[in-house]
A and B are shown apart, each in its own frame.
Chain A
Amino acid sequence: MASQEILREEPSRGSFINDPRIRGLFFQTLVVILLFSSIWWIVHNVIENLQRLHIASGFQFLNSRAGFDISDTPIAYTSDATYGRALVVGLLNTIIVAVVGIVLATIIGFTVGIGRLSHNWLIRKICTVYVEIFRNIPPLLVIFFWYSGVLAVLPPPRESYHLPFGSFLNQRGFYFPRAVWGDGSWLIGAAFVLALAMAWFVARRARQRQMSTGQQFPVFWTSFGLIIGLPLLAFLLAGMPLTLDFPKQSTFNLTGGFWVKPEFLSLLLALSFYTAAFIAEIVRAGIRGVSKGQTEAAAALGLRSGPVLRLVVVPQAMRIVIPPLTSQYLNLTKNSSLAIAIGYPDLTATAGTVLNQTGQAVEGVFIMMIAYLVLSLVTSAVMNVVNARMALVER
Chain B
Amino acid sequence: MSWVRTEMALAEPAPAGERGAYAWVRKNLVGSAGDVILTILGIAIVAWILPQVINWAFINAQWTGPDRTVCTTAAQGGIQPEGWTGACWAFVNAKFGQFMFGTYPVEERWRPILVAILFVALLVPMLIPRVPRKGLNAILLFVALPIVAFFLLLGGVFGLPVVETSRWGGLLVTLSLSFVGIAVSLPLGIMLALGRRSKMPIIKWLCIVFIETVRGIPLITVLFFASVMLPLFLPAGVTFDKYLRALIGVSLFAAAYMAEVVRGGLQAIPKGQYEGADSLGLGYWQKMSLIVLPQALKLVIPGIVNTFIGMFKDTSLVLIISMFDLLGVVKQNFADANWATPQTAKSGLIFAAFVFWLFCFGMSRYSMYTERRLDTGYKR
Q: Interface of A with B (CB < 8 Å)?
A: 24, 27-28, 31-32, 35, 42, 45-46, 48-50, 52, 118-123, 126, 132-133, 135-141, 144-145, 148-150, 152-153, 330, 334-335, 337-338, 340-341, 348, 352, 355, 361-362, 364-365, 368-369, 372-373, 376-377
Contact = CB atoms under 8 A, between A and B. Distances in A.
Interface of B: 27-29, 31, 35, 38-39, 41-43, 45-46, 199-203, 206, 213, 216-221, 224-225, 228-229, 231-236, 309, 313-314, 316-317, 319-320, 327, 331, 334, 342-343, 345-346, 349-350, 352-353, 356-357, 360-361, 364
B225 A365 contact: yes
A14 B309 CA distance: 49
A141 B349 contact: yes
A272 B364 CA distance: 22
Given A27-B200, A122-B39, A369-B213, A140 B316 contact: yes
Given A27-B200, A122-B38, A49 B232 contact: yes
Given A45-B233, A49-B232, A376-B216, A136 B221 contact: no
Q: Which of A137, A148, A335, A355 has the most CB of B within 10 A?
A: A137
A368 B223 CA distance: 12
Given A341-B319, A341-B320, A369-B221, A149 B42 contact: no
A268 B73 CA distance: 32
Contacts of B38: 118, 120, 122-123
A139 B313 contact: yes
Main secondary structure of the interface of B (DSSP, over half): helix
Contacts of B331: 144, 148
Contacts of B320: 338, 340-341
Given A118-B38, A141-B327, A31 B346 contact: no
Given A28-B202, A136-B356, A365-B225, A340 B232 contact: no
A376 B317 CA distance: 20
Contact of B233 (A42, A120, A338): A42
Contacts of B346: 145, 148-150, 153
A141 B236 CA distance: 37
B233 A140 contact: no
Given A149-B345, A152-B345, A338-B220, 5 more contacts: A28-B203, A120-B31, A136-B360, A348-B224, A364-B228
Main secondary structure of the interface of A (DSSP, over half): helix
B45 A48 contact: no
B232 A361 contact: yes
Nearest to A46: B232
23 contacts: A24-B199, A28-B202, A45-B234, A45-B236, A119-B31, A122-B29, A122-B43, A133-B357, A136-B357, A137-B353, A138-B327, A148-B331, A153-B342, A153-B346, A335-B218, A337-B220, A361-B229, A364-B228, A365-B224, A369-B213, A369-B225, A372-B218, A377-B216
A139 B309 CA distance: 12
Contacts of B364: 135-136
B313 A137 contact: yes
B46 A122 contact: yes
Contacts of A48: 235-236
Contact of B229 (A118, A150, A153, A362): A362
B154 to A, nearest CB: 26
A45 B232 contact: yes
Nearest to A29: B202
Contacts of B349: 141, 144-145, 148-149
Contacts of A352: 224
A365 B226 CA distance: 10
A365 B321 CA distance: 14
A46 B309 CA distance: 35
A361 B226 CA distance: 11
A137 B364 CA distance: 12
A31 B206 contact: yes
Given A50-B232, A120-B28, A135-B360, A340 B213 contact: no
B200 A24 contact: yes
Q: 10 shortest A-B CB distances, which residue pairs?
A: A136-B360, A122-B42, A121-B28, A148-B345, A334-B218, A138-B313, A149-B346, A337-B218, A138-B316, A28-B202
Contacts of B236: 45, 48-49, 52
A126 B45 contact: yes
Contacts of B39: 120, 122-123
A123 B203 CA distance: 51
Contacts of B234: 45
A327 to B, nearest CB: 9
Contact of A141 (B235, B309, B353): B353
Contacts of A365: 221, 224-225, 228-229
Contacts of A123: 38-39, 41-42
B309 A348 contact: no
Contacts of A150: 346
A334 B42 contact: no
A35 B207 CA distance: 12
Q: Which of B31, B232, B343 has the most CB of A within 10 A?
A: B232
Nearest to B315: A138
B199 to A, nearest CB: 7
B264 to A, nearest CB: 12
Contacts of B219: 334
B257 to A, nearest CB: 10
A267 to B, nearest CB: 13
Contacts of A376: 216-217
A31 B209 CA distance: 15
Given A120-B35, A120-B38, A136-B364, A141 B202 contact: no
B27 to A, nearest CB: 8
Contact of A136 (B42, B199, B361): B361
Contacts of B224: 348, 352, 355, 365, 368
Nearest to A132: B361
A368 B221 contact: yes
Contacts of A121: 28-29
Contacts of A149: 345-346, 349-350
B233 A340 contact: no
Contacts of B313: 136-139
